[in-house]
Structure 1
Amino acid sequence: MHRWLLSLLLTSVLLGTRTPKRVSADVQVIETSVDYLFGDHITFLATVKSDVPIEKAWLFFRPQGESDTLSGRLNVNSQGEAFYKHDLTNQSIRAFSTIIYWFELTMDDGKIYTSPEYSFDYEDNRYNWQSRESPPFRVHWYEGDIIFGQNMLDVAILGLNGIQSLLSLSSPKHVDIYAYANSKEMQASLQLSSHTWVGAHTDPDLGVMVVSLPAGPEQRLEMERQIPHELMHILLYEEIGPNYGKLPVWLNEGLASVNELYANPDYLTLLDNAQKNKTLYPISSLCTTFPRDASGAFLAYAQATSFTRYLHQQYGSSGLHDLLRQYADGLDCERGIQVALGSTLTQLEHQWRSEYFGENAFLTALYNLLPWLVLLVAALGVPLGLTIRGLRRL
């Protein structure tokens, strides 16, 4: 019995597994190219030189910032030309991302060849982009002259200076800014058709912002609003790191709005009307999301901006930096602000509303003093009780 088991073990070792050996000496990918129409399809092409017939060939590709690797079976002709067409209408890819791709070939003899990795930038090639660079910024546009491009660079630098003055955050590694001629074209490129009120967007993990800057007298004002706003998101992402998603939405958008060079003048009226109509949102309801409709979103932005500006006035840049640190450490919306600033979110909201709207000033002061009043009553209660007991004995 033992001899039979030993024989079986030796046979298994000698045969081994049937995992193919990987080789590269007799196989080469001598040429690769990518052809695509933004939002429609991507065609991957390769020319393979091999002394051994190819049994099957696969393409693997992964967009920047994504964890899932996509794949497709390559068609290979007798000349060693291989291609695969990916349908973007069925499986879209994030705009302006860098795509890494490679090939894997299985030969007739069972050996496998894996090519080096290649890459290309998935830009919106429906437009002829012009570019201009001043590190760490690179701007791209398709309508306007070189002065327009330089203006974008100038505003980006002003926005960076504003952030460093507000929070002393480090300069970004690299930022690409793409300017569309109108919001409709911008929204179409990012598949934001259901959010027609969105004028700009940022993918902070890509270091890419997309803005819409229509020609006209307000173009510079929109530039001074959108670019510094979106830049704040990118720097916050680099500062917070893996817990960027823990950052309350009201703080993320509030800081971005505070950094705008040209503040939205409609926010003041919007806030006053909401306060009179008692339609202000509780700040706690803006921790994880903003309303999706235009009017609700604008009010949320207005509140976040005003509340964040109030916190900066009360606690300074160091207080805001402490607040960011708590969220970077993974604390939730309510706990993070209490640890960093020593007050609850509800207390700070009462203080902000009292300061900004002048509402319930006495009640707000009483609410903030409530913990101390409780302690005072408790401290006075003991001697008062003893005094009463003493009087009863008389």
Structure 2
Amino acid sequence: SLTSGQIPPASEVSYFWRIGDSRGQVLRTQEQSFRYLDQRFSWKSETRDDVTVFWYGRDQFGDQLLSQTERSLAVIEDRLGISQSQPVRIVVYQNWNDMRPAVVERWGENQVVSLGVAMNAQTAVLFLHGSWERTLTHELTHVLTSQFTEGPYSRLPFWLSEGLATYTEGGVRNGTQNPLSIGLLSSGPTRKEDIDPAYAQAQSLVTFLIREHGGSANIRSLLATIAQGVTIDDALNAVYGFDRQGLERQWREWIGEPTEEVPPSAPDRPQLLTMIVISGLILLLSLVMLVVLLITLFKKPAS
């Protein structure tokens, strides 16, 4: 059975019936569809082009929400070079308590309070708060990057996904001191105290790539390469000429934090071969000297 939060709000649900009798005959009804919305509230909707917004409360808020959505989409295209390629649906709740049941089944009871959630490549859900416009831009960035990279093997690492979203929302997040490793920033924070620094450092990493390595054009190329199903290291190498470790070293230097020491590389094959030959000669010389010494001792006349 379905419980609250299993189907994203504003999803289009399609269904049909298959009816069979004792003689084995089966009747399949025509497919029907409906828009699923949280039944606790009386929703209003408004559509402009390929954007539909859903809300409850003041009628006038719909125009404001649509206009802000259009501004956010324009900001994302300007800053990242990616644009909407599928219909977009925005669902706005009045507060966190109203929104929580709609997202908790998918994201877990123990999550910190989330200002918004990108449910899939078409739907973003958020609640009204003091900076909801920035949250809308943030979640729309997730929606558009999902549309741009959509595929079974194109999951973005945390630092890139959240870095792009925090970069487009604007403002600078504090927390780049004591940077986390690129490995931790790839999978995302697991401790509550690491959440704010992880988002700040993800934003800083993306800002570094955009400012120092080719701007939004290369970010778009990176996303397009990831969409082909390659690993993040291969995608970084193809676009920027370095992998995650190279990115981390350069970024740490850029923010003025000490770089982690890299262990010395193993000697290459010519050096290794030379060392083996020299060691062998020393061993052979030692054996010859031992044999000479033994012969000398045996030939010595008895007293």
Q: TM-score, normalised by structure 2?
A: 0.77
1:232 corresponds to which letter in structure 2?
T
CA distance 1:186–1:245, shift in 2 (3 Å): farther
1:240 to 149, 156, 165: 149
Report the CA distance between 1:302 and its aligned residue.
Answer: 0.9
Instruction: Give the equivalent residue in structure 2 for 1:116.
Output: 30
Q: Distance in 2 between matches of 1:125 and 1:103?
A: 24
Q: Distance in 2 between matches of 1:295 and 1:352?
A: 22
Report the CA distance between 1:94 and its aligned residue.
Answer: 4.2
Show structure 1 runs of 5+ residues with no match: 1-86, 379-394
Tell me whether 1:141 sits opposite 2:39 in the alignment: no
Q: Is the 8 A contact 1:291 1:300 kept in 2?
A: yes
Q: Distance in 1 between matches of 2:4 and 2:77?
A: 42
Report the CA distance between 1:151 and its aligned residue.
Answer: 2.1
Instruction: Give the equivalent residue in structure 1 for 2:117.
Output: 201
Tell me whether 1:158 sits opposite 2:100 in the alignment: no
1:190 to 91, 100, 103: 103
Secondary structure at the residue paired with 1:190? Answer: helix
CA distance 1:243–1:253, shift in 2 (3 Å): farther
Q: Is the 8 A contact 2:53 2:89 kept in 1?
A: yes
1:258 corresponds to which letter in structure 2?
Y
Instruction: Give the equivalent residue in structure 1 for 2:88.
Output: 175
Q: Distance in 2 between matches of 1:171 and 1:208?
A: 12
Instruction: Give the equivalent residue in structure 1 for 2:224.
Output: 325
Instruction: Give the equivalent residue in structure 1 for 2:163.
Output: 254
CA distance 1:244–1:258, shift in 2 (3 Å): farther
Q: Is the 8 A contact 1:251 1:308 kept in 2?
A: yes
Report 1:97-116 matches (<5 A): 97-116=11-30
Q: Is the 8 A contact 1:237 1:244 kept in 2?
A: no
CA distance 1:123–1:103, shift in 2 (3 Å): same
Report the CA distance between 1:213 and its aligned residue.
Answer: 0.6
Secondary structure at the residue paired with 2:63? Answer: helix
1:283 corresponds to which letter in structure 2?
I
Report the CA distance between 1:308 and its aligned residue.
Answer: 0.3
Report the CA distance between 1:91 and its aligned residue.
Answer: 10
Report the CA distance between 1:343 and its aligned residue.
Answer: 1.6
Q: Distance in 1 between matches of 2:243 and 2:162?
A: 20
Instruction: Give the equivalent residue in structure 2 for 1:359.
Output: 257
CA distance 1:155–1:294, shift in 2 (3 Å): farther
Equivalent pairs: percent with the same residue? Answer: 28
2:147 corresponds to which letter in structure 1?
E
2:132 to 223, 230, 240: 223
Secondary structure at the residue paired with 2:16? Answer: strand
**Alpha-carbon deviations, 1:24-79, whole Å to 9, x = none?**
xxxxxxxxxxxxxxxxxxxxxxxxxxxxxxxxxxxxxxxxxxxxxxxxxxxxxxxx
Show structure 2 runs of 5+ residues with no match: 272-303
Report the CA distance between 1:90 and its aligned residue.
Answer: 9.9
Report the CA distance between 1:349 and its aligned residue.
Answer: 1.6
Aligned Cα root-mean-square deviation (Å): 2.8
Secondary structure at the residue paired with 2:234? Answer: helix
**Alpha-carbon deviations, 1:248-290, whole Å to 9, x = none?**
2211111111111x42x5x22x33xxx2xx3x21123222x21
CA distance 1:359–1:173, shift in 2 (3 Å): closer
Q: Is the 8 A contact 1:254 1:305 kept in 2?
A: yes
1:342 to 211, 223, 241: 241
Secondary structure at the residue paired with 2:151? Answer: helix
Report the CA distance between 1:184 and its aligned residue.
Answer: 2.4
CA distance 1:95–1:107, shift in 2 (3 Å): same
Higher strand share: 1
CA distance 1:237–1:295, shift in 2 (3 Å): same
Report the CA distance between 1:125 and its aligned residue.
Answer: 1.4
1:96 to 10, 16, 22: 10
Q: TM-score, normalised by structure 1?
A: 0.61
1:210 to 114, 125, 129: 125
Report 1:16-165 matches (<5 A): 87-89=1-3, 92-146=6-60, 148-165=61-78
CA distance 1:334–1:253, shift in 2 (3 Å): same
Instruction: Give the equivalent residue in structure 1 for 2:194.
Output: 296
Q: Is the 8 A contact 1:124 1:189 kept in 2?
A: yes
Q: Distance in 1 between matches of 2:119 and 2:71?
A: 21
CA distance 1:354–1:308, shift in 2 (3 Å): same
Moved over 6 A (4+): none
Q: Distance in 2 between matches of 1:90 and 1:149?
A: 25
Q: How many residues align?
A: 263
